[in-house]
Amino acid sequence: MIEQRRQAYLEAMGFDVWIARPPEAEKDRLVLGPGKGSTLLVCSAPEHSATRLGGDITRILGVDPVWAWPDPEGKPEHPRLEQAVTDSLFTQVLVFGEQTARLLFGKQVPEVIASSAVTVAADFDELATRGTSKQELWAFMKMHGLAKPASGT
């Protein structure tokens, strides 16, 4: 209350009153889900990993990937992407969606972070509605050895 009174006096005397804003949350921090594989899958929201498409992606990988998504609050206890890659020794990072990639990297997406190759795929909405996008993702995964070998042949 006293601070408001001081502010009112200063304003009445014609002084500009500046109030410090709290720092904005850093949007490049990630919430890491469970998993223990060497592949990090970064989607825009936590619910994507639990969708049917998320299950299909996990099955084609044939491993237990770690799902992650940007932390909307930017909590300092959540790692940045480079820290997550270094700490967990990921060898492949697959980011779903250009918007998520821009949030994490800005304008320039690196090809490699630490020891991990970085790839940007279509976002989940596009993968769910465009068959060609999903086919491109499957082909990419097979070409880069991310897809488990087909059985029964």
Tens place of pLDDT per residue across the chain (153 aa): 567 888 888 888 888 877 777 666 566 799 999 888 899 999 999 999 889 999 999 998 888 899 999 998 888 899 999 999 999 999 999 999 999 999 899 889 999 998 899 999 999 999 989 989 999 999 988 887 777 766 544
Query: How many of the other CB atoms lie within 10 Å of CB of 81?
Result: 24
**Residue that is written with structure tokens 């795929």 in the block:** 121
**Res 115: pLDDT:** 84
**Res 153: pLDDT:** 44
Which residues, other chains included, contact 80 with Cβ-Cβ below 8 Å and sequence gap of 6+?
26, 28, 29, 30
Q: Where in 74-144 does DSSP place strands (E)?
A: 92-96, 112-113, 116-121
Tell me the whole-structure pTM to 2 decimals: 0.78
Instruction: Write down the number of H helices and E strands in the chain.
Output: 6, 6
Q: DSSP for 91-111? A: SEEEEE-HHHHHHHHTT---S
**Res 20: pLDDT:** 75
What does the block give as tokens for 152? 């029964």
**Res 24: pLDDT:** 63
